[in-house]
Structure 1
Amino acid sequence: MTHPFLIPGKGLREFYTPERCFITELLSHPSREVSLARARVAPGVTTQLHALDVEETYVIETGSGVMEVGGDRFRVGPGDGVRIPTGTPQRIENDGVTDLVFLCLCQPRFRAEGYADLETQADGPSP
């Protein structure tokens, strides 16, 4: 029997995404109105320009880089938080020499169908 306060997890497994970063889902359960993940971006990598149908907040844990939100670019580092409004184009660049690691809090919960790849849409269909 499952405890009523337990939110079952699927285990912690890091996976690579087409967004050009590694993701570990820390909390993503249909019973919750939020989701939490850890993202890791390798040195020299800029994530895919994208937008979500949810509000997202980044909290930088380690590393540093340049965040782009709605066309505005600014530096981020450990302890910084970034609020990304629903539907706003975003990406982050790791311009450092170590991994850039940050938490991603989505409200409501992230769902893959709410992810819009703005790079592919801008480039049009592949030949």
Structure 2
Amino acid sequence: MPTRNKDKIPHIFKSPNPDEFWLDERIYIRELMNAPEEPALSLARFRVPAGSTTQLHSLSITEWYVMESGSGIIEVEGLEMPIKAGDCVKINIGQSQRVINKSDEELVFQSICTPRWTPECYKNLEPENGEENEG
């Protein structure tokens, strides 16, 4: 009987948060894959409601947005660029970012973070009481 190499066996990951939920960052999220045993990446699906702007923030990791539906504006380092379904945006480590949805439809995208996202990599750039917030 052949032996099986553990690394060759497919692994199915179960999301610890399979349901969509609201973040204080003014966005809905559904975590699809964010496992400590696979630190190379994480994957989440986001929804920006019509007429909303997400929180200005930066990450200590690289993030990719893959636009699924809708259209809007991505602001990176103060530069605003139009985005729509089918676009892919790379946001480098430390760059300020936010998504602006001025349309009447929600904007939906997936986020791939490398390495995986953890609360420690998030920095809120919208100060409360004149101070920057982390995590």
**What's the TM-score, normalizing by structure 2?**
0.85
Structure 2 partner of 1:5: 11
Greater Rg, structure 1 or structure 2?
A: 2
Aligned to 2:23: 17
In the alignment, the residues of structure 2 paired with residue 122 and residue 43 of structure 1 have an alpha-carbon distance, to the nearest angstrom, of 28
**Unpaired segments of 5 or more residues in structure 2?**
1-8
The answer for unaligned runs of 5 or more in structure 1 is none
Structure with greater proportional strand content: 2
The CA deviation at 1:18 is 1.1
Q: 1:4-83, aligned counterparts within 5 Å?
A: 5-10=11-16, 12-32=18-38, 33-83=40-90
- Contact between 2:59 and 2:93, CA under 8 Å: does it hold in 1? yes
Number of equivalences = 123
Q: Provide Cα deviations, 1:82-106, integer angstroms capped at 9, x if missing partner.
A: 0000110000101111110000000
Q: Residue deviations 1:38-88, cap 9 Å, x none? A: 000001101000001110000110110010011111100000010000110
Partners of 2:17 and 2:30 within 8 A in 1: no
RMSD: 1.7
TM-score by length of 1: 0.90
